[in-house]
Amino acid sequence: MDDALLTLLRAIDTPTVCNAIEVAQGKRGFNDFTRGTMLCSAPEDPAIVGYASTAKIAAVTPPTEPPEVIRERRMAYYKQMAEAPKPSICVIEDEDYPNAIGAYWGEVNTTIHKGFGMSGTLTNGVMRDLGDMAKGYPVVAGSIGPSHGFVHVTALQCPVNVFGLTIHPGDLVHADLHGAVVVPPDVIPLLGAAIKKMQDTEHLILGPAREPGFDFEAFEAAWAAFEKARV
C-alpha cells in the first residue's frame, strides 16, 4: 500500500471500500466485514486504516496465572503495539463478549497507542472516558461502559474475531462508524482504480438524481446506464 492509496482510503468510508472490493473482484458476494452495529468514539474522524496488530483480553473474572506472567504479557503487548508495522491498527477481541465489561479503551490507552503512532482501535469490547480519549485516535468498539473489571491480556498476535469478522495479524483493515472490513491482499494493487470506477459509476445515477426536474423518465435512462456499468 503506497502513500497515495493510504490517503485515499483514509478519505472514504468503509461501505465504499466494500463496494470497491467487489468492483476489483468483478463479482458480488465479498463478506469479510463485521456484522451488527458497532460504536465509534469519533464518527467525524477519518477512517482507521492499517495493518492489524492483534490481541485478546478478558475482564469478567480475575486472571488465574501468576501476577508476573500477567505483567510480562502486558509488557509484551505494549512492545508489540509500539513496534507494529505502520500504518497499524490495534485489533482486540474481548473474550467475554457479548458480556464484556472491561473498558480497556479510555483516556490512558488511547493516549498510549496514539503515542505509538497507531491509527486507531477495532474491538468487540468496551470503551469509556468518551470526553477524554486521545484526539485523532478513533476507537470502533462493541459497547460503552464505566469500569475496567479485571481486564488483562490473554493472547498476542493471533487470529481474532470481532463482530463476526476474523482478522489475522498483518491483515489490512479499514474501519469507521459503519464497522470494519479486511481488504484481500490480491485486491490491494487494484483498489485505487476500483474506487475511481465505482465512484464514476455511481455518478451515472447520482448526478441526474440531483438535477432539477429529475423524474421517472430521467431515472429510467440513468438507471440503465448505471446497471450497465456496475458489478
| 119-153 residue pLDDT tens | 999 999 999 999 999 999 999 999 999 999 999 99
Question: Cα separation of 38 and 40, whole Å?
Answer: 7
Question: pLDDT above 70 covers what percent of the chain?
Answer: 100
CATH architecture assigned to 32-183:
3-Layer(bba) Sandwich (3.50)
| 215-230 residue pLDDT tens | 999 999 999 999 888 7
| 37-79 residue pLDDT tens | 999 999 999 999 999 999 999 999 999 999 999 999 999 999 9
Please state the domain extents for the chain.
Answer: 1-30+187-231, 32-183
The pLDDT score that the predictor gives to residue 231 is: 54
The pLDDT score that the predictor gives to residue 10 is: 97
Q: Which one, of 86, 144, 94, 93, lies nearest residue 119 by Cα? A: 86
User: What sign has the CA pseudo-torsion 40, 45, 50, 55?
Assistant: negative
How far from 19 is each of 10, 24, 106, CA to CA, in Å?
A: 15, 9, 32
Question: Cα separation of 199 and 17, whole Å?
Answer: 11
